[in-house]
Amino acid sequence: MQIADLDFCVPEDLKSLVEIEKACFAVPWEEDLISADLNGGGTSLYLKASFKDVVVGYGVLGQNDESAHLMNIAVLPEYRRHGVALQIMAAFDILAHEWLCRRMYLEVRASNAVARAFYASLGFVYSSRVKGYYNDGEDALLLAARLPLKL
């Protein structure tokens, strides 16, 4: 496993994050939404993973009462299966602990087998199905894990 540098995102990371979104999702997050968050407009926390100053992945964590909400995680295709997402999740595990959260939850596309395998490896289990959660009508699966994660 290569060790990535982890750091909080800054507004100057916008271009990199938009590129990651386009490379990773058929329906990427809107640039304006990411920009507003990076410029302090939101409450969620953005963490980036880099190799030699190249941002190769990022994750977004929010908080909802006693639960941490994994809102996004993505790694550029050419950097996958090197433990990058695992490192981001390890950092989120620590942050969620500091926020006094007891569990973490997330929504994932029912068809996203790779992400579901990734989450299963961390101890996330099926909680419920949300019909038509995504803009294109696909259902989301709500997954949840007790903290600490199985890292």
Ligand X SMILES: CC(C)(COP(=O)(O)OP(=O)(O)OC[C@H]1O[C@@H](n2cnc3c(N)ncnc32)[C@H](O)[C@@H]1OP(=O)(O)O)[C@@H](O)C(=O)NCCC(=O)NCCS
How many residues lie near ligand X (CB under 6 A)? 18
Question: Which segment (37-45, 92-100, 109-117, 128-136) binds ligand X by CB under 6 A?
Answer: 109-117
- Restricting to residues 28-67, name those near ligand X by CB under 6 A: none
| Helix, strand, coil in percent for the chain, rounding step 5 | 35, 35, 30
Per the CB < 8 A criterion, the answer to whether 54 and 4 are in contact is no
Q: How far is 132 from 11, CA to CA, in rounded Å?
A: 32
Question: Which of residues 67 and 121 has its CB atom nearest to ligand X in the complex?
Answer: 121
Nearest in space to 69 (alpha carbons), one of 151, 144, 148, 149: 144
Judged by CB under 6 A, which of 60, 82, 101, 124 binds ligand X? Answer: 82
Q: Quick check: 71 binds ligand X (CB under 6 A)? A: no
- Structure letter (DSSP) for residue 4: P
Contacts with ligand X by CB under 6 A lie at: 24, 73-75, 80-86, 108, 112, 114-115, 117-118, 121
